[in-house]
Amino acid sequence: MAASTTARGRPGRRPRSNWRDPWRLAGLAALLILLIFIVYPQLWIVRAAFTDDAGAFTLARFGAFVTDARFTEPLVHSVVVSLSVGAGAALVAVPFAFVMARYRIPGRQGLLTMLTMATTSPPFLGAYAWLLLLGSGGIITRAAREAGLPLPFESILGVGGIIWVGVWFTFALIFLMVYDALRAVDPALEEAAASVGSTPWRTHWRVTLPLAVPAIATGCYLAAMRIFADFGTPMLIGGGYSMLPVVVYQNFMSEVAASPGVAATASLMMVLVSGLALVAQRRIVARRSFAVTGGRDQPLRELRRGPRALVLIGVWTALLLGFVPHLVVLLTSFLRWQSGILQWEPTLENYRRLFEESLQPIVLSFVFAGIACLMALVMGVVVAYIVARKRFRVSGPLLNNLVMVPYILPGTVFAIGFILAFNHLPVILTGTALIIVVAYFIRRLPYVMKSIEAALGQVHPSLEEAAMSVGAPPRRSFRDIVVPIIRPAVISGGTVGFLQMITELSATVMLYAVPWVTMTVVIFTNAMQPGSPFGVASAMTTVLLVSVYVPLYLLRRRYKTVSL
């Protein structure tokens, strides 16, 4: 049915059976996978949202989100905070991405690697780092108070803290996307602008920046959604500031009075809001301006000494702030913790205790995230290509929206759906390693897919059409035209996806079974209660970050020699 609508929708095209288009089949296969692993497991949420406590159909739960302050307040809070974080992170990221993409900056490869690293925050302990520094009894707060320095706040707790932490843990995501986009801009366009007398600034504003708009929009969208769906930060830093993910989580998981109906409704509200955000993102990307027609690299320009020093200070400050959680975890892994309280005594005891136990979690984490990342790359390319290129009436928008659902659902809720769906015939996955792999793949697919989509948004379809017009079959034009251009995005999308998978915590904790213990499970186990041995968790986090960053660094070096 979808095929015939599409055929009628394009009367001008030469008649060709849509089913011969390999993308049509690939799209249907992708849709099938998403139906099995996203829609089917999460249907229970829809069911719970539309039934009242007695089991009858109701719409009243949604009414409460418009009338009851207990729900409207978190809704408004969440939207405001997400928008602020998206805007704030873009303000930090876009100028830096622009400068780094255009000018010769000393240590650029190192900076790029570190920015990729900064897209991942240490799981679980990360948000606590800021509290340790800027909380009411925090290290910096106390030092400032003793030195008599006035601070604009008494404690980082509260809405300001959520936004602050959110900006620093999302700006690298926007940076990478915008940087990749700017690097891909054909220098001929800017040369053309200059040749007709445009000043450099005017060229930046009127030519370069608009070309990066798809990437900026997608980056902002991802950053805003990341904080919109984040449950840990408001829980830890919010100090009681109500936000939707907390409402969802508490109503699903409350030990006293869980109300799955309320939680399910709140989840659907989140999916709805994210759907609206997706529409906005799509509108911006759809008014896209294609930047890439050739494959020529941007030449890097020299920067005068003064501005260069300024840029370097700025970039390193942003990086430092982005790495605060990582540094605090690293530092505390070498300090003694007693019953969850930091003692300022250096020790290697945490590492000794960690290595006493099996090192299998390190291997398992890599295997799980590696397989899942490979799956996500294949799927991400297929879905992104269809969304960006093919005007499939039904499957296109459906794919685009479905892929984003796991991005919004809290990991724990997502995992409950998986257990409900795959703990009985015909498919039993619970208790196996496969369920973790599939969960990683589905849950982190949005990162991979969105970054490839942003890259495709820059490639003008005319390139492929040109290839096809001289007789290249679609497969060949895809391989020879599209693949080389989206390769940087595939690499950075895949890397970010992998980092997000290997640090996935909340779904893993609900799904894992012995012996499938990952590094994040070890971290969590040693930090789950206020009196837990946090030092061991810090040590495991450090090992996790190092074991991820070393291959990442090697990949970056290699990638530099091959592609840039």
Partner 1 sequence: MRYATTLGAGLLTLALTGCAGVLTNNATAGQSGDDNTVTLYAVSGPEVTDPILGAFKSKHPGIKVNRIGLPGTGEAFARVRAEKDRPLGDVIWGGSSELYTANADLIAPVELPNDAATVAKDPDHIWHATDLLFQAIAVNTDKFPDAAGHPKTFADLAEPGYAGGKVGFATPKSSGTSYSLLTTMVTLHDWDYVDRFVKNARMLDGSTAMFNMVKDGEVGTSFINEDLGAKWIDAGAKIKLIYPEDGVSGQIGSAGVIKGAKHEAAAKTFVDFLMSKEAQQIMVDEVQRRSSRGDVPAPKGLPPVEQLKRADVDEKWAAEKKDEILAEFDDAVKSAG
- Contacts with partner 1 in 349-368 (CB under 8 A)? 366-368
Name residues contacting partner 1, limited to 410-429 (CB under 8 A): 412, 416, 419-420, 423-424, 428
Least separation in angstroms between residue 472's CB and partner 1 is 18
Q: Does 558 bind partner 1 (CB under 8 A)?
A: yes
Q: Does 238 bind partner 1 (CB under 8 A)?
A: yes
Name residues contacting partner 1, limited to 120-139 (CB under 8 A): 131, 135-138
Name residues contacting partner 1, limited to 372-411 (CB under 8 A): 373-374
Q: Is residue 181 classed exposed, middle or buried when 0-12, 13-18 and 19+ CB atoms within 10 A define those classes?
A: buried
Among 371, 379, 438, 448, binds partner 1 (CB under 8 A): 371
- Could you identify the residue written with the tokens 């320095």? 149
* Cis preceding linkage at 515, omega within 30: yes
Contact present, 514 and 315 (Cβ < 8 Å): no
Q: Does 295 bind partner 1 (CB under 8 A)?
A: no
Choose between 210 and 431: whose C-beta lies nearer to partner 1.
Answer: 431
Q: Say how far apart CA 351 and CA 341 lie, in whole Å.
A: 17
Q: Does 58 bind partner 1 (CB under 8 A)?
A: no
Q: Say how far apart CA 466 and CA 476 lie, in whole Å.
A: 12
Residue 313 structure tokens = 């200070």
- Give the number of residues in contact with partner 1, rule: CB under 8 A: 71
Q: Does 9 bind partner 1 (CB under 8 A)?
A: no
Q: Does 330 bind partner 1 (CB under 8 A)?
A: no
Choose between 220 and 536: whose C-beta lies nearer to partner 1.
Answer: 536
Q: Does 87 bind partner 1 (CB under 8 A)?
A: no
Cα 352 off chain centre by = 33
Cα 90 off chain centre by = 14
Name residues contacting partner 1, limited to 489-548 (CB under 8 A): 509-510, 512-516, 521, 524-533
Choose between 390 and 443: whose C-beta lies nearer to partner 1.
Answer: 443
Least separation in angstroms between residue 41's CB and partner 1 is 11
Q: Say how far apart CA 396 and CA 2 lie, in whole Å.
A: 10
Q: Give the residue among 414, 405, 402 at the shortest CA–CA distance from 505.
A: 414
Choose between 298 and 360: whose C-beta lies nearer to partner 1.
Answer: 360
Choose between 58 and 289: whose C-beta lies nearer to partner 1.
Answer: 58
Q: Does 346 bind partner 1 (CB under 8 A)?
A: no
Q: Does 72 bind partner 1 (CB under 8 A)?
A: no
Q: Does 258 bind partner 1 (CB under 8 A)?
A: yes
Query: E strand or H helix at 420, and its extent?
Result: helix 411-422
Choose between 104 and 352: whose C-beta lies nearer to partner 1.
Answer: 352
Least separation in angstroms between residue 126's CB and partner 1 is 16
Q: Say how far apart CA 402 and CA 30 lie, in whole Å.
A: 11
Q: Say how far apart CA 340 and CA 354 lie, in whole Å.
A: 16
Q: Does 255 bind partner 1 (CB under 8 A)?
A: yes
Q: Residue 124: left (phi > 0), alpha (psi -120 to 50), or beta?
A: left
Least separation in angstroms between residue 155's CB and partner 1 is 6
Name residues contacting partner 1, limited to 188-227 (CB under 8 A): none
Q: Give the residue among 113, 34, 177, 94 at the shortest CA–CA distance from 486.
A: 177
Residue 179 structure tokens = 């940087």
Query: E strand or H helix at 342, and its extent?
Result: strand 341-346
- Could you identify the residue written with the tokens 């959110």? 166
Choose between 198 and 525: whose C-beta lies nearer to partner 1.
Answer: 525
Stretch that binds partner 1, among 218-226, 282-290, 340-348, 470-478 (CB under 8 A): 340-348
Choose between 286 and 341: whose C-beta lies nearer to partner 1.
Answer: 341
Q: Is residue 10 classed exposed, middle or buried when 0-12, 13-18 and 19+ CB atoms within 10 A define those classes?
A: exposed
